[in-house]
Amino acid sequence: MSKFFKIIFYNIFVLLVFILTIEIFFGYWFKEFNFGPDMRGKRIQKIVFQHENKQINYFRDFYGFREGPYINKKYDPSKIKIIFNGGSTGDEMFLDYDQTIVGKLNSYLKKDELDIKIYNASQAGKSLVGHVNEFSSWFKNIPNFKPEVIIYYLGINDRKIVPNRWHNYEANLSYFQNFFWNITQKSFFWEKIKIIKDKYFYSEDNISAYLTNDPDLLQKLKSNEFISFDYAKKNYKIENEKDLAIIQNFKSNLENLKQQLEIWKIQPIFITQITYNINGDKMLHLLNTELKKFSLKYNYTIIKLDEIINMPLNNSFIDNIHTNKNGSEKIAKMVYPYLKSALIKKTISKK
């Protein structure tokens, strides 16, 4: 081997040893924050959406929670006591944080001078399976993380049974994906590159691509259609084996969730979900019914949003399930009195 190639070889060897040493001591390979591949795209994330000449900022912090300001650094997770948890209707990635349901709820708590902050753990696409799996795939890797209350806003993503969902921490990864996605969550250098990228070369997207362009649905959104709870209760029935399978799956996953909540000593608060016409989705109504039975059986707090709303929510939805800023504010205002009372009781009882 020539002298030149020896110099190149030794320099590369020294560089690799240096990188490996830094990774071992400063990466997350053998210690806390040992997030796995299923957390890729769910933490340290910044997306800027453009819509009608307006910029919408979407952030997920170091631990994976959706926050207002961009927090890519570690903070004390032992202070996280209250969590709001749902799918895209709780994540609301197309709204600025202050316009979301969680953002509004926190502003009401602050206005009432209550020392309570709600952290948003919602993730687009997550169903009840994801809420169960995240205890082992996400929560256990946050040191000193001991939430007291989780507010669940779920049901919409459970209307179908869809296996192997990345959103539910059960993606069927190839060997290469598992290897590469692990690096993205454990590597010291990758983390620093990601932080720099999000600061100066952040991802951009156009929100218009995600909005509905279905003319029939757009017309319905403007029609102020309203399906009452009483109508739904009278007319929506289990019609076939497919309906029954979805309901049985939901009930089974609720029991699995209960087991995790008991292990973690967390008190749940459930909120039933709605669609643009409130009770117009048969399967969602049936799942809401099961959620109410489950909450009654175990004496869990439940806020029955599908029953509270007794009139159309005008100009409140961007599609059949996702609210705009007006809709999120209306829901937050309706839910807040019940939630405030429940949170005060639960936090005081803990103390």
Mean pLDDT by 10 residues, the chain (351 residues): 71 80 85 88 90 86 91 91 97 95 98 96 97 97 96 98 94 92 92 86 77 86 92 97 97 98 98 98 98 98 97 94 96 98 76 48
Count of C-beta atoms within a 10 Å radius of residue 264: 15
- Cβ contacts of residue 83 below 8 Å, gap of 6+? 118, 119, 120, 121, 147, 149, 150, 151
Segment holding 255, helix H or strand E: helix 241-264
CB 339 within 8 A of CB 303: yes
Q: 1 is written with which tokens?
A: 């081997």
Say which CATH topology domain 37-350 has. Answer: Rossmann fold (3.40.50)
Q: 193 is written with which tokens?
A: 């590159």
For the question of whether the overall pTM of this predicted structure is more than 0.85, the answer is yes
DSSP state of 52: T
First CA to last CA across the chain, in angstroms? 72
The amino acid at 149: V
CA angle, corner 346, sides to 344 and 351, nearest 5? 95
- Cβ contacts of residue 136 below 8 Å, gap of 6+? none
Instruction: Tally the residues of the chain.
Output: 351
Helix (H, G, I), strand (E, B) or coil at 150: strand
Calculated CA dihedral for residues 133, 137, 138, 140, nearest 10 degrees: 100
CA-nearest of 325, 246, 328 to 281 is 246
Segment holding 80, helix H or strand E: none
Segment holding 82, helix H or strand E: strand 82-86
Query: HSE (CB half, 13 Å, CA atoms) of 193?
Result: 8
> If 0-12 CB within 10 Å is exposed, 13-18 middle and 19+ buried, where does residue 57 land?
middle
E strand map for 17-163:
45-51, 54-60, 66-67, 82-86, 118-120, 149-153
Rounded Cα–Cα distance for residues 162 and 160 (Å): 6
pLDDT at position 1 is 56
